[in-house]
């Protein structure tokens, strides 16, 4: 984080997306919704402070969940280009919701650039599409259906609500906001995929038409911005075609659609730092749209973004044979955390998922069981007992 002087930074914030010097984190803190933090985010979380603060805005109830929870949509701006975005289609993917709240705070701040965005764009935002899944902290809805595999069948009320909104709002762009697990790397290197994007396929051949190309160009713009802050930590999601996925289905309807995936940043399991990078991405994308500069970005640079790989463990233990004689010399223990809802808070419970050579894999934290200092730290986290109980 760099400081360039308070006055200078304030001036630059008005044209935030052109900021080349320093780090805008200090300004972001003015818009971060501090009443909603951590991984467990529900409509009740929003209702405590954020929703009352914005009750004068244009809210619509776009539908109801299986359990009867309201699904709210916020329409803001009066510009000619319409952008539809929805978050928490999967109830346990809350980071993008937090970023969306921050983005709304920015949009209503009265800042010069925020007013520019609202003059050139009309935004429709659904903070939590799957409120039942948010309460239960599950990917699926109350009927145990993955809403992102229900675009064609539309068997669920949440799916029907989103499609009805899409048909009535008639967006020029769609943002499908999700979260991804800590296992993803940005390519085959030891860098986490902190943010990933996808321009979904529109056919089994994964052909690139004008619609998909526009989504790619917008991703290129966001990637260029993010590389200034998290170089090498932006990934490209797999583009296998599935016409029952919402992004693919909207792309098939000739609306450029972008999948956002909020991933892991080192030592940020609450995803508060990743939240910031999603905020930056939203701001950059809407700014490029508002300035009518999407096509200024080379779409072929999209394919230069490394494709996600699954190379990370939350904890990687080297020389584990020193602790457990059932493990062979040279084998490693890979541990991933299971996100578990306990008393309305997400706890990260370690679970051994793989034992072996694990060549080419990395750990967000790495311990060496041949070192006493590491063994002490492992003991503090309950990892020694976990390793000792292998095959017991």
Instruction: Express each pLDDT in 258-306 by its tens digit.
Output: 999 999 999 999 999 999 999 999 999 999 999 999 999 999 999 999 9
Burial 173-207 (b: 16+ CB within 10 A, else e): bbbbbbbbbbbbbbbeebbbbbbbbbbbbbeeeee
Identify the burial level of 350 via C-beta atoms within 10 angstroms of its C-beta, where 0-12 means exposed, 13-18 middle and 19 or more buried.
middle
Q: 50-106 pLDDT, tens per residue?
A: 999 999 999 999 999 999 999 999 999 999 999 999 999 999 999 999 999 999 999
Domain-embedded: residue 95: yes
Q: Last residue of a domain, which of 310, 344, 368?
A: 310
Percent of the chain residues past pLDDT 90, beyond the cut = 92
Domain-embedded: residue 45: yes
**Strand, coil or helix: what is 365?**
strand
Domain-embedded: residue 181: yes
351 in the same domain as 263:
no
319 in the same domain as 303:
no
383 in the same domain as 353:
yes
Domain-embedded: residue 15: no
320 in the same domain as 304:
no
152 in the same domain as 60:
yes
Q: Last residue of a domain, which of 276, 310, 344?
A: 310
103 in the same domain as 154:
yes
Given a cut of 60, is residue 18 above it in pLDDT?
A: no
Identify the burial level of 212 via C-beta atoms within 10 angstroms of its C-beta, where 0-12 means exposed, 13-18 middle and 19 or more buried.
buried
| Predicted TM-score (pTM) of this structure | 0.93
CATH number, domain containing residue 54: 3.40.630.10
Number of structural domains, the chain? 2
Are the CB atoms for 308 and 193 separated by under 8 Å?
A: yes
Compute the mean pLDDT over every residue in the chain, rounded to the nearest whole number: 93
Q: 337-372 pLDDT, tens per residue?
A: 999 999 999 999 999 999 999 999 999 999 999 999
46 in the same domain as 108:
yes
Distance, in Å, from the CA atom of 374 to the CA atom of 330, rounded to the nearest integer, reads 17
Q: Mean pLDDT over residues 227-250, rounded?
A: 97
Q: What local confidence, expressed as pLDDT, does residue 26 receive?
A: 73
Q: 187-233 pLDDT, tens per residue?
A: 999 999 999 999 999 999 999 999 999 999 999 999 999 999 999 99
149 in the same domain as 265:
yes
49 in the same domain as 97:
yes
248 in the same domain as 119:
yes
Map 77-122 to HEC letters: CCCCEEEEEEECCCCCCCHHHHHHHHHHHHHCCCCHHHHHHHHHEE
Domain-embedded: residue 7: no
Domain-embedded: residue 203: yes
Domain-embedded: residue 60: yes
Q: How many CA atoms lie within 13 A of 219 on its CB side?
A: 33
Identify the domain containing residue 328 by its residue range. 312-388
Domain-embedded: residue 2: no
Q: Which of 155, 151, 157 is nearest to 130 (CA)?
A: 157
Q: Last residue of a domain, which of 281, 310, 339?
A: 310
45 in the same domain as 143:
yes
373 in the same domain as 237:
no
């Amino acid at each position: 984080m760099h400081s360039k002087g308070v006055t200078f930074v304030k001036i630059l914030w008005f044209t935030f997306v052109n900021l080349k010097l320093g780090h805008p984190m200090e300004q972001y803190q003015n818009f971060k919704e501090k009443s909603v933090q951590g991984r467990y985010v529900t409509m009740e979380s929003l209702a405590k402070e954020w929703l009352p603060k914005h009750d004068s805005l244009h809210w619509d109830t776009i539908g109801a969940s299986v359990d009867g929870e309201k699904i709210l949509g916020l329409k803001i701006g009066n510009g000619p280009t319409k952008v539809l975005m929805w978050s928490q289609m999967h109830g346990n993917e809350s980071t993008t919701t937090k970023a969306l709240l921050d983005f709304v705070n920015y949009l209503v701040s009265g800042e010069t650039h925020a007013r520019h965005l609202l003059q050139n764009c009309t935004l429709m935002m659904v903070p939590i599409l799957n409120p039942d899944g948010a309460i239960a902290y599950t990917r699926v809805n109350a009927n145990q259906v993955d809403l992102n595999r229900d675009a064609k069948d539309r068997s669920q009320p949440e799916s029907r609500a989103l499609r009805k909104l899409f048909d009535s709002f008639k967006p020029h762009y769609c943002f499908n906001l999700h979260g991804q697990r800590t296992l993803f790397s940005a390519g085959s290197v030891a860098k986490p995929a902190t943010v990933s994007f996808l321009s979904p396929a529109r056919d089994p051949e994964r052909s690139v038409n004008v619609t998909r190309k526009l989504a790619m160009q917008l991703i290129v713009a966001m990637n260029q911005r993010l590389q200034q802050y998290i170089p090498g930590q932006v990934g490209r999601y797999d583009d296998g075609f599935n016409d029952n996925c919402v992004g693919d289905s909207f792309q098939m309807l000739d609306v450029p659609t972008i999948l956002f995936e909020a991933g892991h940043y080192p030592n940020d399991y609450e995803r508060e730092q990743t939240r910031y990078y999603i905020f930056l991405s939203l701001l950059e994308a809407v700014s490029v749209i508002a300035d009518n500069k999407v096509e200024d970005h080379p779409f072929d640079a999209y394919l230069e973004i490394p494709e996600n790989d699954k190379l990370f463990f939350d904890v990687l233990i080297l020389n584990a044979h020193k602790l457990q004689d059932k493990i062979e010399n040279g084998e490693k223990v890979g541990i991933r955390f299971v996100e578990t809802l306990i008393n309305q808070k997400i706890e990260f419970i370690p679970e051994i998922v793989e034992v072996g050579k694990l060549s080419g894999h990395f750990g967000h934290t790495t311990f060496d069981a041949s070192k006493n200092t590491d063994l002490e730290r492992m003991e503090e986290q309950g990892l020694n007992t976990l390793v000792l109980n292998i095959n017991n």
